[in-house]
Structure 1
Amino acid sequence: MAPQTPTGSDYVQELVIGFAAWASASARAGLASLLQSFGDSTEPDYLAIVPVYNRMLAIALLVVGAVIAIGLIERILGGQMGLSWNLVPRVLIAVFFAFSGFSLVQYLSGYAALLATAWSPDLAQYAKSLTDPASFEHLSRNASAGTLGALIFTALLTILMAVLVHLELLIRAALMLTVTAFIPLVCVLAIWPRMTAAAIHLAEFLVGLMLSKFVVATVIYIGFGLVIPAMHGAQSADGKAGWLSTGLAILLIATFSPAILFQALRFAHGGAGGMVRGWGAGVVSMMTMGSVVRLASGVGRRGLTRVRQAVSMARSRGSTTSSSRGPDS
Structure 2
Amino acid sequence: MAPQFPTGTDYVQEFVLALATWASASARAGLASLLQSFGESTEPDYLAIVPVYNRMLAIALLVVGAVIAIGLVEHILGGQLGLSWNLVPRVLIAVFFAFGGLTLVQYLSAYAALLATAWSPDLGQYAQSLTDPASVDHLSRHASAGTLGALIFTALLTILMAVIVHLELLVRAALMLTVTAFIPLVCVLAIWPRMTAAAVQLVEFLVGLMLSKFVVATVIYIGFGLVIPAMHGAQSAEGKAGWLSAGLAILLIATFSPAILFQGLRFAHGSAGGMVRGWGAGAISMMTMGSIARLGSGLGRSAVTRFRRGISKTQSRNSNESAAPGRNS
Please, what TM-score do these two structures have when normalized by structure 1?
0.88
Match of 1:320 in 2: none
Matched, 1:189 2:189: yes
- Which digits, 9 at most, give the CA deviation of each residue in 1:140-189, with x for residues without a partner? 11100000000000111000000000000000000000000000000000
Aligned residue number for residue 325 of structure 1: none
Contact persistence 2:77–2:295 (CA under 8 A) = no
| C-alpha distance in structure 2 between counterparts of 1:9 and 1:263, whole Å | 50
Question: Where in structure 2 are the equivalents of 1:116-155 lying within 5 Å?
Answer: 116-155=116-155
**Root mean square deviation of aligned Cα:** 2.0
Residue 102 of structure 2 corresponds to 102
The residue aligned with 1:73 is 73
- The amino acid of 2:229's aligned partner reads P
Q: CA deviation at 1:192?
A: 0.3
Q: Which amino acid aligns with 2:226?
A: L
Residue 157 of structure 1 is matched in structure 2 by 157
Query: What pairs up with 1:309-328 in 2 under 5 angstroms?
Result: none
2:269 paired residue number: 269
Secondary structure in structure 2 of the residue aligned to 1:285: helix
Aligned equivalent of 1:14: 14
User: CA–CA distance in 2 between the matches of 1:44 and 1:191?
Assistant: 29
Give the letter for the 2:90 counterpart: R
Asked whether the 8 Å contact 2:82–2:193 carries over to 1, the reply is yes
How many Å apart are 1:292 and its aligned residue? 3.3
Residue 288 of structure 1: aligned partner: 288
Shift in CA distance, 135/77, structure 1 to aligned 2, threshold 3 Å: same
Return the letter of the residue paired with 1:66: A
Deviations 1:120-150 (A, max 9, x none): 0000000000111221111111100000000
Counterparts of 1:299 and 1:16, CA distance in 2? 88
Per-residue deviation, 1:20: 2.5
Distance 1:303 1:153 in 2: 79
Give, in whole Å, the separation in 2 of the partners of 1:252 and 1:296. 59
**In structure 2, how many angstroms separate the alpha carbons of the residues matched to 1:5 and 1:303?**
112
Match of 2:178, SS state, is helix
What is the alpha-carbon distance in structure 1 between the residues aligned to residue 206 and residue 167 of structure 2? 18
Q: Secondary structure at the match of 2:286?
A: coil
The 10-residue stretch of structure 1 (279-288 or 214-223) with the greater mean CA deviation from structure 2: 279-288
5 Å matches for 1:211-250? 211-250=211-250
Distance 1:289 1:5 in 2: 93
Cα shift at 1:240 = 1.1
> Which residue type is aligned with residue 264 of structure 1?
G
Cα 1:2–1:273 shift into 2, 3 Å? farther
Rounded to whole Å, the distance in 1 between the matches of 2:6 and 2:303 is 101
- 2:57 aligned partner, one-letter code: L
Deviation at 1:16, TM superposition (A): 3.5
Amino acid at match of 2:211: L
Determine the C-alpha separation between the residues in 2 that align with 1:303 and 1:2.
120
Q: For residues 12 and 140 of structure 1, what CA distance do their matches in structure 2 show?
A: 11
Q: Which moved more, 1:295-304 or 1:72-81?
A: 295-304
SS where residue 208 of structure 2 aligns?
helix
Q: Measured at CA, do residues 3 and 192 of structure 1 come closer, stay the same or move farther in structure 2, by a change above 3 Å?
A: farther
| Unmatched 5+ stretches in structure 1 | 309-329
Q: Which amino acid aligns with 1:133?
A: P
Structure 1, 12-21 or 242-251: larger mean CA deviation: 12-21
User: Could you report, residue by residue, the CA deviation over 1:28-72 in whole angstroms, capped at 9, with x for unpaired residues?
Assistant: 111111101100000000000000000000000000000000000
Work out the CA distance in 2 between the residues paired with 1:75 and 1:300: 21
Alignment partner, residue 323 of structure 1: none
Residues 256-276 of structure 1 show CA distances to partners (whole Å, capped at 9, x for unaligned) of: 000001111000001112111
**Superposition TM-score, scaled by structure 2 size:** 0.88
Q: Which amino acid aligns with 1:76?
A: I
Equivalent pair of 2:77/2:292 in contact (CA under 8 Å) = no
Q: Distance in 1 between matches of 2:9 and 2:164?
A: 36
Identity %: 88
Aligned equivalents of 2:301 and 2:104: distance in 1?
A: 53
Tell me, yes or no, if structure 1 residue 32 matches structure 2 residue 46: no
- Tell me how far apart the structure 2 counterparts of residues 23 and 239 of structure 1 sit (CA, whole Å): 27
User: How far apart in 1 are the matches of 2:304 and 2:79?
Assistant: 26
Residue 207 (1) aligns with residue 202 (2): no
Contact 2:16–2:140 (8 Å) recurs in 1? no
1:295-324 deviation line (CA, Å, top 9, x unaligned): 55368769999xx9xxxxxxxxxxxxxxxx
